[in-house]
Amino acid sequence: MPSSLILTVTIVVVAMIFDTINGFHDSANAIACVVSTRVMTMREAVVMSASLNFAGAFMSVKVAQTVGNGIVNPNDITQIVIIAALLGAIIWNLITWYFGIPSSSSHALIGGLVGSAIVYKSSFLIVNWSGLFWKVILWLILSPLIGFIAGFAFMSFMNMILRNTRPHTVTKIFSKAQIFSAMLIALNHGGNDAQKTMGIITMTLVSAGFLHEFSVPLWVKICCALSMALGTSLGGKKIIKTMGSKMARMTPVNGFSAEMGASAVIFTATMFDAPVSTTHIITTSIMGVASAKRFSAVRWAVAKDIVVTWIFTIPSCAVISGILMFLLSLV
């Protein structure tokens, strides 16, 4: 077997690749609305999103602690387990990106970690099921619902206060306001998503004995922030098209409402140490905004395909990473 140092370096590199893919896979979260409403060009939105994803990565380490220490004890696994988890999540992200389906990189990573750990230990007891339920599964169920409600409530409030305002004036005002809301969701996206890779790398350092306690080093924060910013700059046009136009028709006030509602939910989840899916939340917030006009405004066939992908993300990644763990154990 390769030495501990070589394995650690390999995991850091693979984690950076995952974070980069996460950046371009999830870049649509922050810019789909603002691009589809033509408030910003693709280039402008990508630069803005990449910059604020980088800044957001330094907001907190609470989510990193949940991912790296709250689901599987890093002292109970080997580095091969983490490699299998990362590779499984990367494979799933690339598959869903290719088909333009906005799935969750967060839950892909967690599913991969659970699957590879179970196969490694040949036991379900290696997983902290209580932590997995309260910090992941519960938020997986609740956050999209809250995102829908937040989007619906925000848009309903906008409709109420703007009902006597001329459409041209509304568009003019929210063409400016949506820049702020897009910046806010980009910041929150970096604050929640980049921490997951921080957690995985720190878990690796603890597992290999390079750290004696779970504490995210500064260099890990910088590497994860840079990787996510790089990935975001590469963009994800297929997913942007699905979220920004195929699901529902968007105007600047719609985009502003969806982004503000989603930002509030993501920020709250981060404060509760929960690694949520930004993809889930912004998507259901868009659905909520469209539903505030009328339920038929949502293209439910597209939404159904997305929901099916959500449901299968954790178990699919657990299976993929479990298979990879089995194959790697034979090497």
The pTM is what? 0.83
Secondary structure element (H or E) that encloses residue 188, with its range: helix 167-207
10 and 2 Cβ atoms separated by less than 8 Å: yes
Secondary structure element (H or E) that encloses residue 329, with its range: helix 300-329
Contacts of 209 (CB under 8 A, 6+ apart): 4
CA atoms within 13 A on the CB side of 16: 14
Contacts of 186 (CB under 8 A, 6+ apart): 30, 31, 48, 49, 51, 52, 53, 56
Total number of residues shown for the chain: 331
What is the residue-level pLDDT of the chain in tens, covering all 331 positions?
457 788 899 999 988 988 887 777 666 666 777 777 788 887 788 788 878 888 888 888 888 989 888 899 998 998 899 999 999 998 988 888 777 666 777 788 899 999 999 999 999 999 999 989 998 888 888 888 899 999 999 999 999 999 889 988 998 899 889 899 989 988 988 888 888 889 999 999 998 889 988 999 999 999 988 888 787 777 655 555 555 555 556 788 988 999 999 999 999 999 998 888 887 788 888 889 888 887 776 667 666 766 777 788 889 999 999 999 999 998 7
CA atoms within 13 A on the CB side of 125: 1
